[in-house]
Amino acid sequence: MRRAIYTGVLCLCGIHAFGQKDTLLKFTTPPIEIREAVLDETGNLPAIDGVRIYGGKKSAFISPEKLNIDLSSNNSRQLFGRIPGIMVWESDGSGIQTGIATRGLSPNRSWEFNMRQNGYDIASDVFGYPEAYYTPPADAVKRIEVLRGASSLQYGPQFGGMINYVFDSAPATNGSATKIRQTFGSYSLFNNFISIGLRKNKFSFYSFYHRRSSDGWRQNSAYSTQTGFVSIGYDFNDKVKVKAEVTHSDMKSQQPGGLADAQFQDNAQQSSRARNWMSIPWNMMNVQLDIKASEKFQLEIKTFGLLATRGSVGFLDPITTADNVLSTTNDYAVRRVDSDRYQNIGTELRGKYVFNLFGNEQTLAFGARAYQAKTFRHQKGNGTTGFDYNMDLDSLGYKVNYVFGTKNYALFAEQALYVGKRLLLVPGVRFEQITASGSGTVNYNSGDIPLQERTVSKVLAGIGAEFHLNEKNEIYANASQAFRPMTFSEVVPSATTDIIDPNLKDSEALNIDLGVRGSWKNYLSYDVSVYQMNIQDRIGSYSLNSVRYVTNIGASLSKGVEMYVEGNVLSKFKEGKCGSLQPFASIAYNEATYSSWNDPTVQAGSSSDRTNKTVENAPRRIQRYGLTYKLKGFSATYQLNKVSEAFADALNTVTPNAAATSGLIPAYQVSDLSFAYKGKENYSLQMGVNNLFNESYFTRRAGGYPGPGLLPSNGRTIFFTFGIQI
């Protein structure tokens, strides 16, 4: 057994688990039965799900609609509270943009994850600019799938893994279903959600509309957002099905900017930036064709596209500079205007072939991808001196003008190989080719600056394993290679004097997991694991003789333990009399450090040397504890979030600078409490208090937009929700 487990994970040992009562394998014929997904509150993804293989990987799913949490504001610390190790930037109180990461990676707009909706990309450019400006409304999400670093073979090179938001759909049988949720809350919060699903023989239809607005907890933080979604499907027969869907999202938010530490201590709700705005219209399309040629051969083809814009206008000088810098004349300074346009199109083919070998049914999952993206970037324009959202420019136009292009082709395959009655091996390989190019101007009169067209080809490999101790407990292991392509910001000079290393390489990583998961009777389900992530050739910069050099400057190592445990202490009693009391603990310990830093301007061992220093924005401990009590239609949930201190910069600066862009991010703990009641007439009531004890804290110091400066998290807020299903 040990020899099989350690294949591909030579230097790491540990345990991993996740609650899964009815999803576990039975030792029948074939010896290991494929797990089927059971949509409970949380659990592991099945070993094989359609044309995808999740066996031997660290995976999880969340069913938001079954959790007693605040869905109206996309509260990430509650939404991902049962996934150990998820770091959340709570600097956007609107919940419009989600910033999450894991294992010491950057939470910046979740760009270390491959972010997907219904299985296709939602980021602006998956490779050149992988930031996810759009987040699906939690009210509409039926299930969130989370796959850690081993996802690189199936989904691409992001170090953090893959997150897929799966929407609800039309009823499984003929009929209709309507859901309505109305939420009112603090600071004029209004959240409206309505969905309609319909199935009639071979035709299916599902649509929702979501709108949310609020004045915001901080001054100058009002926002409004709306999302519409339509999905139309037609089943030609049991073997051929087609579905088309369109998503439109549009948001506009006022950005209150950062604070200095003294301002935060005095009043965390204050803001000295009243003229900063961002607007993001986001449009996505997808057509999916499912072909089930036989019980042994299946295909899924997705063709998807993105048309989107990001526009921002504001005064972005350090917080030490007053906004009305021309106060002698009572005039305000000219604001900076930035604008991006994104045009993407891609196709992914995934297939599954089942065959017999070693007396068992074996599954081969394979696929191909073709993707093309264009980004039109215009930055540093001189705008108006006004207060409203206005993208007007002076006669000089934008100082920075670039057009970036990305082309991507990939082939991948994974084999679920059952050996005997207890062992599952999952070797896999991926070939990735990425071509990036661009041209434009950095300064008004600098002339055209082309980016050398660059094509990189990579072969990634990995192997996973599961060994089933019994029907309810299993050990699993995985080792997978990954790489992170250079982003546009890393290869574009910020000034004409910048020098980009002509031998600049993509960052590479090896992700390793090993663990055990399972359950004990009906009382306990558990998930405990250890991991290691080694990143080489990290991209950075240094300055020498007033010239900025961009090169591969260092390496980092993340290692730690992640544990999830959930129980039911009243399960031995009749639930009708005593209800259920379900405590859970989601605990992660992560040590992320720079293992080397190759800056020729820094003397080894000096205070400026990053070697052995903690990676920025990487707290060592993330602990979340919760308790849910259910009795008939009533439920109450309490959740405590405890996060240890972190550093805002790689030099591990403790004392904050005047601009509040560097310095310690102190430890904090936040409590949330919510109550819900589901009536027999298909209606529901919910009320809750976020940040119950009004903790004053922050999770981020921003060097640029939407700061700069310290960005406070929301204080106490209250919400009330009424829902009905017809």
Give the per-residue pLDDT at 608: 85
Query: Read out DSSP for 561-623?
Result: EEEEEEE-TTTTS-HHHH-EEEEEEEEEEEEEEEEEE--TTS-TTSTT--TTPBPTT--SEEE
Higher-pLDDT residue of 309, 34? 309
Shortest CA distance to 453 belongs to which of 405, 501, 498? 405
Answer whether residue 573 shows pLDDT above 90.
Answer: no
Is the Cβ–Cβ distance between 610 and 597 less than 8 Å?
yes
pLDDT at residue 23 above 50? no
pLDDT computed for residue 328 by the predictor: 55
How high is the pLDDT of residue 601? Answer: 87
Distance of CA 325 to the CA centre of its chain: 38
DSSP single-letter state for residue 651: T
Residue 705 structure tokens: 């937009």
What contacts 2, CB < 8 A, 6 or more positions away? none
Q: Are 640 and 671 in contact (CB under 8 A)?
A: yes
What's the mean per-residue pLDDT of the chain? 90
Average the pLDDT over each of 184-198, 489-503, 662-676 and give the range with the smallest value: 489-503
What span, in angstroms and rounded, lies between the C-alpha atoms of 710 and 268?
10
Return the structure tokens found at 104: 């010491």
CB 116 within 8 A of CB 163: yes
Closest CA to 344 of 313, 308, 292: 308
- Look at residue 36 in the predicted model and tell me its pLDDT: 38
Q: Which residues contact 4 (CB under 8 A, 6 or more apart)?
A: 419, 423, 425, 465, 467
Token look-up 């592991």 returns 44
Nearest 5°: phi and psi at 329?
-115, 10
Percent of the chain with pLDDT over 70: 91
Instruction: Taking residues 420-446, report their average pLDDT.
Output: 89
Q: Which one, of 472, 470, 474, 436, lies nearest residue 452 by Cα?
A: 436
Q: What is the largest CA-CA distance in the chain?
A: 86
| Residue among 712, 669, 660, 670 at smallest CA distance from 690 | 670
The per-residue pLDDT for range 528-542, each reduced to its tens digit, is: 999 999 999 998 888
**DSSP-derived pairing of the beta strands 240-254 and 717-725:** unpaired
Lowest mean pLDDT among 185-199, 214-228, 322-336: 322-336
Residue (of 311, 213, 320) closest to 257 by Cα position? 320
The answer to whether residue 9 scores a pLDDT higher than 60 is no
Cα 385 versus chain centre, distance? 36
* Residue extents of the structural domains in the chain: 2-263+276-319+335-341+362-725
**pLDDT tens, position by position, 317-355:** 999 988 876 555 567 889 999 999 999 999 999 999 999
List b or e across 249-286, with b for residues whose CB sees 16 or more CB atoms inside 10 angstroms: bbbbbbbbbbbbbebbeeebbebbbbbbbbbbebbbbb
Whether residue 380 is predicted with pLDDT greater than 90 in this model: the reply is: yes
With cut-offs at 50, 70 and 90, classify the pLDDT of residue 572. low
Q: Is the dihedral of CA 142, 147, 153, 156 positive or negative?
A: positive
Mean pLDDT of 120-135: 93
Q: Residue 5: which pLDDT band, with cuts at 50, 70 and 90?
A: very low
Whether residue 688 has pLDDT greater than 50 = yes
With 90 as the cut, is the pLDDT of residue 446 above it?
Answer: no
pLDDT of amino acid 37: 36
Pair of tokens at residue 564: 């999830």
Residue 156: strand, helix, or coil: coil
Q: What average pLDDT does the segment 577-606 reach?
A: 91
CA dist., res. 585 & res. 526, Å (int): 10
26 confidence band (pLDDT: 50, 70, 90): very low
Bond prior to 600 in cis (omega within 30° of 0): no
Look up residue 2 and give its two tokens.
Answer: 């040990």
Residue count (the chain): 726
Q: Which region, left, alpha or beta, applies to residue 660 given φ > 0 means left and ψ of -120 to 50 means alpha? A: left
| Residue from 159, 134, 239 nearest 555 by CA | 159
Element (H, E) at 401: strand 400-419
CATH superfamily of 2-263+276-319+335-341+362-725: TonB-dependent receptor, beta-barrel domain (2.40.170.20)
Two tokens, residue 312: 């921002």
pTM, 2 dp: 0.93
Answer yes or no: are the C-beta atoms of 169 and 231 closer than 8 Å: yes
Task: Note the pLDDT of residue 20.
Answer: 39
**What are the residues facing 323 on neighbouring strands?**
none
* Percent of the chain whose pLDDT exceeds 90: 75
Residue 4 has pLDDT above 50, yes or no: no
